[in-house]
Amino acid sequence: MTFSALVEETIAAVVTAVAPGQGGVAIVRISGSLAEKVVRKVVSVPGKQVWASHHVLYGYVVDETSEERIDEVLLVLMKSPRSFTGEDVVEIHCHGGLILVQRVLDLVLAQPGVRRALPGEFSQRAVLNGRIDLTRAEAVNDLISARSKRAAQLAMAGLDGGIEERISLLRQRLLDQLSELDARVDFEDELPYLNTSDVLNELESVRSSLLKLVEDYRRSLIYRNGLCVALIGRPNVGKSSLLNLLSGRQRAIVTDLPGTTRDILESAIILGDVPITLIDTAGIHATENSIERIGIDRSFEVLKGADVVLLVFDLENGWTKADAELLNQIPSEIPRLLIGNKADLQKTSMKKAITSKDQEVSHPDVCISALTGEGEQNLIKAVIKAVDATEGEGCVVALNERQVDLALVAVKALERVSEVGEQKLPWDFWTIDLRHAIRSLGEITGEDVTEAVLDRIFSRFCIGK
């Protein structure tokens, strides 16, 4: 059954993250025409407190069967249409914890006419009831899942209406052109001359604006999805120490013995506002040890999927033939940085690294001491530069993948309109693809979207949204 068929029912769900021992407060949200009635049955409110919209009430969740007090809570009543969903909404603010929150939710769901909310159903009701447009609903989801400050800023720009405003403006410009063309299909003899070049120029301007939004999306992906950065090198060059330095904690075991790291270690960090999955690999060298061999094989697998590779070598020992062979095994299309480590041990190490007798290398991209932290900021800047992360800083808003796909559909449709214009075909031929472009933009904002599309979009949301 689709969302629209269930929209008259009252729904409930926990809308906050709940984990054992984490979070002092949790919220159970109830939305629908029965919301207040349901909560009055579940929560006992002492005294003469007024059940007024947008007021806070105090009370106890009580098991009606056993008359047991389950929790001490606060209630927030929000009357339609001044709520997130546009319906009557009541939120029960209870204490956090898996067992307690589930008991409160179970009591709510046990009431007649109430069911558990489907994934994204609160947000979908907000769209269907005209509280927010589709781009704002998707921005809420992006904001929740943001992995960096910059990703959160871009999501907030969408929540503020930045995407809806831009797409609606472009769509309106296309509608203006469509109305001119439609009028001339039936009444051309009665209307002023319409310059073909002016129409094509306007359509090209809209197309260019859409392509700019697509480009901004691609530039913003680094802030949304993050990067995989692999640390590779010979044993005992300091890869694990570097992982610990950048992670800010002792994530990997560090000893003076070569080959301490025999498996893949991952650490999620933020560098320069970019989410990074930092991967420490096993030291790569010739070995007869079967366990070490497995770790080395895994290192090469990580290497193939990395966005950036940091080849770490020992400045004290200099650049060796083994380092050079390892460098040659990095796929040419993957950005790589040569990281000279242990800069604290020998101040002449730069010269040694540059002109080693085994192999020449122009220079390390960054010299660092994983022990003292010397050069850490230079390394961070080099990683960000290697992937052109600074390009995304100029993005004001960023579409998501669904929206980009629709924008590209509109771009292709406008290109076909231009081809029709160049062939000097009648106006009604122009309108076919122009309508297609307008529908695609309307699907981005929800102005021209099918029920099936809405179901698919919101099914990807968490239940609490």
Q: What is the pLDDT confidence band of residue 16, given thresholds at 50, 70 and 90?
A: confident
Cis (ω within 30 of 0) for the bond into 235?
no
Q: How does pLDDT run across 361-397, given as a tens digit for each residue?
A: 557 888 888 888 888 888 888 888 887 766 555 677 7
Q: How many Cβ atoms are within 10 Å of 306's Cβ, its own excluded?
A: 22
Q: What is the pLDDT confidence band of residue 301, given thresholds at 50, 70 and 90?
A: low
First to last CA, the chain: 19
| CATH code that applies to domain 241-306+308-386 | 3.40.50.300
Q: How does pLDDT run across 449-463, given as a tens digit for each residue?
A: 777 778 878 887 887
Q: What is the pLDDT confidence band of residue 83, given thresholds at 50, 70 and 90?
A: very high
Would you state the pLDDT for residue 332? 81
Q: Of 195-199, 344-348, 350-354, which has the strongest mean pLDDT?
A: 195-199
- Percentage of the residues of the chain whose pLDDT score is greater than 90: 32
Reading phi first (left if > 0) and then psi (alpha if -120 to 50, else beta), residue 233 is in left
Task: Report the 3 state secondary structure along the chain.
Answer: CCHHHHCCCEEEEECCCCECCECCEEEEEEECCCHHHHHHHHEECCCCCCCCCCEEEEEEEEECCCCEEEEEEEEEEECCCCCCCCCCEEEEEEECCHHHHHHHHHHHHCCCCEEECCCCHHHHHHHHCCCCCHHHHHHHHHHHHCCCHHHHHHHHHHHCCHHHHHHHHHHHHHHHHHHHHHHHHHHHHHCCCCCHHHHHHHHHHHHHHHHHHHHHHHHHHHHHHCEEEEEEECCCCCHHHHHHHHHCCCCCCCCCCCCCCCCCEEEEEEECCEEEEEEECCCCCCCCCHHHHHHHHHHHHHHHHCCEEEEEEECCCCCCHHHHHHHHCCCCCCCEEEEEECCCCCCCHHHHHHECCCCECCCCCEECCCCCCCCHHHHHHHHHHHCCHHHHHHCCCCCCHHHHHHHHHHHHHHHHHHHHHHCCCCHHHHHHHHHHHHHHHHHHHCCCCCHHHHHHHHCCCCCCC
Better-predicted residue by pLDDT, 165 or 320: 165
Angle at 298 between CA 356 and CA 296, to 5 degrees: 40
Q: Which two tokens stand for residue 439?
A: 């529908």
Q: What is the pLDDT confidence band of residue 152, given thresholds at 50, 70 and 90?
A: confident
**Which amino acid makes up residue 156?**
M
d(CA 427, CA 417): 10
Cβ distance 223 to 151 under 8 Å?
yes
State whether residue 2 is helix, strand or coil. Answer: coil
Question: Which of 64-78, 161-175, 220-234, 358-372 comes out lowest in average pLDDT?
Answer: 358-372
pTM over 0.85: no
Would you state the pLDDT for residue 403? 92
Q: How many Cβ atoms are within 10 Å of 6's Cβ, its own excluded?
A: 14
Pairing of the two strands 55-63 and 68-78: antiparallel
Which single residue is written with the structure tokens 């992006």? Answer: 142
Q: How does pLDDT run across 314-344, given as a tens digit for each residue?
A: 888 888 888 888 888 888 888 888 988 888 7
d(CA 392, CA 430): 36
d(CA 436, CA 442): 10
Q: How many Cβ atoms are within 10 Å of 360's Cβ, its own excluded?
A: 10
Same fold, 3-133 and 147-221+397-446: no
Q: How does pLDDT run across 32-50, given as a tens digit for each residue?
A: 999 999 999 999 999 999 9
The third-level CATH classification (topology) of the domain covering 147-221+397-446 is Four Helix Bundle (Hemerythrin (Met), subunit A) (1.20.120)
Superfamily of domain 3-133: Probable tRNA modification gtpase trme; domain 1 (3.30.1360.120)
Burial degree of 260 (CB within 10 A; 0-12, 13-18, 19+): middle
Q: Name the nearest CA neighbour of 38 among 3, 71, 64.
A: 64
d(CA 179, CA 182): 5
Angle at 311 between CA 305 and CA 317, to 5 degrees: 155
d(CA 135, CA 126): 12
**How many C-alpha atoms does 171 have within 13 Å on its Cβ side?**
21
User: What residue spans define the domains of the chain?
Assistant: 3-133, 147-221+397-446, 241-306+308-386
Question: Which of 139-148, 163-172, 398-407 comes out lowest in average pLDDT?
Answer: 139-148
d(CA 334, CA 88): 53
Mean pLDDT of the chain: 81
Cβ distance 265 to 241 under 8 Å?
no
**Would you state the torsion angle of the CA atoms of residues 114, 117, 121, 125, taken in this order, to the nearest 10 degrees?**
20
- Percentage of the residues of the chain whose pLDDT score is greater than 70: 82
